[in-house]
Amino acid sequence: MIPRYSLPEMEIVFADETRFGRWLEIELLATEAQATLGVVPADDAAVCRSAKPVVDASFIERVLERERVTDHDVAAFVDVVQESIGAPAGSWIHYGLTSSDVVDTAWCWALRDAADLLIDAARQLHHVLVAMARHHRETVMIGRTHGVHAEPTTFGVKVALWALQVGRDIERLESARRAVAVCKLSGAVGTYSNIDPEVERSVGEALGLVPVPATQVIARDRHAEYVWACASVGATCEMIATELRHLQRTEVREVEEGFKAGQKGSSAMPHKRNPISAETISGLSRVLRGNLQAALQDVALWHERDISHSSVERVILPDSSLLAHYVLHRLRRLLEGLQVFPERMRANLHSSHGLVFSQPVLLALVQSGLSRDEAYRIVQDSAATAWAHGVDFRTTLESDVRTAAVPATVLDEAFDLRRSLTHVDRIFEQLED
């Protein structure tokens, strides 16, 4: 992933130094487990640990140079590690293992750590959303369907629903973490033919990973579930970002992204304050969804293994982790600096001359004895007149002879904003639960 959309704590998880360091630790733990079983001399296992190479830029370059000969990254890595430790102890490195034992266990180790960062970032976002929802619990605004004014709601309700969805994303991330926090050191085709299952158990325990039955590779539905959780995070963040973009439109202007000193919204038009964070989030979520398609295609491999998934995962697993992490933090920062304009929200609500009360008026007319279809036509006609001429909806309604028998108190209740918001507490009860 390009640095522009990467945060350092997630970059470290997928850095070459970290990856080779994981490979080395897995090799050493396996060698030590073999020594416990009496397969590897204990003294040689101790030498492997004490003489292990330092994984730095020089080590990585040696591995890459060796790979130009072997055309196999793990084989090159093993050669360099064995050479660094020296014979005879170094010869026990990778004993009984196949490449996927090391690579797949290291991938799952990395994804487990990445999931922890994602869960933490999602919880931070959730905390901000809950606080914002509580703060704007009674900030009245118009609800919209199809982009058109519908009925009153509150900004707090809108944000509370966002928080509930982020809460579900946290659950999805936790499930994905469980799915990928596994390991396998069962050798070629996964039958433990050249390695004792106790080695796998020992390494898994040391790394906090759960040994699972596998072919030569760990089943890729686990990785697909992880990428799905990342894509779901992106979809949620895009859903919020898209709404904020709409609410920031000049004609609406109910919210606005923060604009810091020195910032420029346009190179040509100095007046511009654009929703750049929300737009960036929307764009990056598309990449996350695209990666999910590739992850699902990686599930079907030939027989006990092939490497058609390998090249794909080198791209999508780090990138999905980095992007999901980035959009979570970018959205949290956006919300922390968001400007909310309650007066503009209320003005927009009343800008349609009271048409937002059409449904309670319809119900009031039905309660007064009119048929539903007749009541609907009356309300529809009055609404059309009010909208066409810019006059008060209630006035046009009361001037219709067909409503003469409807008590004023009934209409008072229908046009009462508080009536529309009587039960919003139900949503907040769910949020607090």
Catalytic residue selected from 72, 127, 135, 266: 266
Q: Where are the domains of the chain?
A: 1-95, 98-257+270-351, 355-414
Does 266 have pLDDT greater than 80?
A: no
Sign of the dihedral through C-alpha 253, 254, 255, 260: positive
Tell me what the mean pLDDT of segment 182-199 comes to.
96
Total length of the chain? 433
* pLDDT-based confidence at residue 74 (cuts at 50, 70, 90): very high
**Which pair of tokens denotes residue 369?**
């004895």
Angle at 372 between CA 368 and CA 375, to 5 degrees: 65
pLDDT score at 400: 86
- The average pLDDT across 72-81 equals 97
What confidence tens digit (pLDDT) does each residue in 118-159 have? 999 999 999 999 999 999 999 999 999 999 999 999 999 999
65-to-2, 83, 90, 100, 305 alpha-carbon distances in Å: 25, 14, 20, 21, 27
Return d(Cα 384, Cα 396) in angstroms, integer: 10
How does DSSP assign 72-121, residue by residue?
Answer: -HHHHHHHHHHHHH-TTGGGGTTTT--HHHHHHHHHHHHHHHHHHHHHHH
> 75 pLDDT exceeds 90?
yes
pLDDT at 2: 84
Choose among 328, 139, 162: nearest CA to 244: 162
User: Check: CATH 2.40.50.100 for 1-95?
Assistant: no
Catalytic status, residue 266: yes
For residues 23 and 19, give the distance between their C-alpha atoms in angstroms, rounded to a whole number: 6
The two tokens of residue 206 are 């040391």
pLDDT tens track for 306-325: 999 999 999 999 999 999 99
CATH of range 98-257+270-351; options 1.10.1740.10, 1.20.200.10, 1.10.357.10, 1.10.4160.10: 1.20.200.10
Told to judge if 371 belongs to the known catalytic residues of this protein, a careful annotator would answer no
Distance CA 22, CA 28 (A): 10
Largest alpha-carbon pair distance within the chain?
104
pLDDT, one tens digit per residue, over 195-251 is 999 999 999 999 999 999 999 999 999 999 999 999 999 999 999 999 999 999 999
pLDDT > 80? residue 1 = no
Whether 39 has a pLDDT exceeding 90, the answer reads yes
pLDDT tens column, 367-391 = 988 899 999 999 999 999 999 999 9
Residue 275 phi/psi, 5° resolution? Answer: -80, 65
The pLDDT of residue 261: 81
CA dist 177 and 327 (Å) reads 19
- Rounded to 5 degrees, what are φ and ψ at 143? -85, 150
Percentage, residues of the chain above pLDDT 70: 100
pLDDT value, residue 401: 84
Give the residues across from 141 on adjacent strands.
153
Q: What is the pLDDT of residue 269?
A: 85
Q: Percentage of residues in the chain with pLDDT exceeding 90?
A: 88
Q: Please pick, among 50, 58, 146, 267, the residue that the annotation labels catalytic.
A: 146
Instruction: Please say whether the beta carbons of 199 and 33 come within 8 A.
Output: yes
Q: Say whether pLDDT at 347 is over 80.
A: yes
Beta bridge partners of 182: 210
Mean pLDDT, the chain, integer: 95
